[in-house]
A = this chain, B = another copy of it.
């Protein structure tokens, strides 16, 4: 058994083999092993957070990660950003006929390792196979359940600040370089990572208003989403924005703006300034205050540029980099 066949999706003997020989041994846990149509989970005795994401990243392997790591981190991060502590994940695979079984193994192990590191179990799943197109496509959906730890909302206060947990755009840039086979002198890795520990540190602050990870659309689009339903505006300071030098080189070469490149392991949080300073020290990895909440220009995002000008930022329009997650 080297490549995925249409029969691996038939629901018959080959589907059983794939599940029994590859999927269950990789994700082994008490909830998964009964293999009913659903996993039965203990009573959390708390409010639940429920999230889902499908991953279609192309190529499936990139510097700093692969679609498996991304699919587990992505849903764990969404649960954390909604104020939850992630507990359980589902894993649903759509695999193209001809996909190499060894590559599928790599991806499943990467999912399991990432889940284990975050103390999360993959407890239920599904596998479908679609006809051969290019022979190297795989799509993964993960849905997740977490226990609500901290209710967050768009209730900001004037002079709250925005913390960004690390450099912008490394994920988007690394996917682009993997896809176009571009090589720069330095090493550029995706920031793909699990935000559970960082989010738990942020949730410990009373003044925390909201958490969000700037994925598709990047920091600029996410910041607009954070204010467009509030009564406040936001200012970002170009001089304070953390950009990896390799990402900056790539952006200079190609005319990209790092503010619109996706991150997959960065956290934005809004809180009061004193708490934010303390949090940045705890988070390390270049966490910085990058802007503030203002009563001026409600629902608008302004960038104060290095040369002292002010520019309004809009949501990403046009698609410089499709399928980055």
How long is the Cα–Cα vector from A213 to B97 in the complex, in angstroms? 26
Contact flags A34-51 to B (C-beta < 8 A → 1, else 0): 001111111111111111
Among B37, B78, B148, contact of A37 (Cβ-Cβ < 8 Å): B78
Q: Which of A40, A88, A151 has the most CB of B within 10 A?
A: A40
Contacts of A91 in B (CB 8 A): 52
- Give chain A's interface secondary structure class: mixed
Among B14, B49, B143, B316, contact of A10 (Cβ-Cβ < 8 Å): B316
Q: Which of A13, A37, A78 has the most CB of B within 10 A?
A: A37
B47 touches A126 (CB 8 A): no
Count of chain A residues with a beta carbon within 8 Å of a chain B beta carbon: 81
Q: Does A54 contact B (CB under 8 A)?
A: yes
B49 touches A12 (CB 8 A): no
B51 touches A47 (CB 8 A): no
Question: Smallest CB-CB separation from A10: which chain B residue?
Answer: B319
Distance in angstroms from A91 CB to nearest chain B CB is: 8
How long is the Cα–Cα vector from A215 to B151 in the complex, in angstroms? 40
Interface residues of A in 37-80 (CB under 8 A from B): 37-56, 77-79
How long is the Cα–Cα vector from A7 to B133 in the complex, in angstroms? 22
Q: Does A262 contact B (CB under 8 A)?
A: yes
Q: Which of A41, A144, A319 has the most CB of B within 10 A?
A: A319
B90 touches A56 (CB 8 A): no
B319 touches A6 (CB 8 A): yes
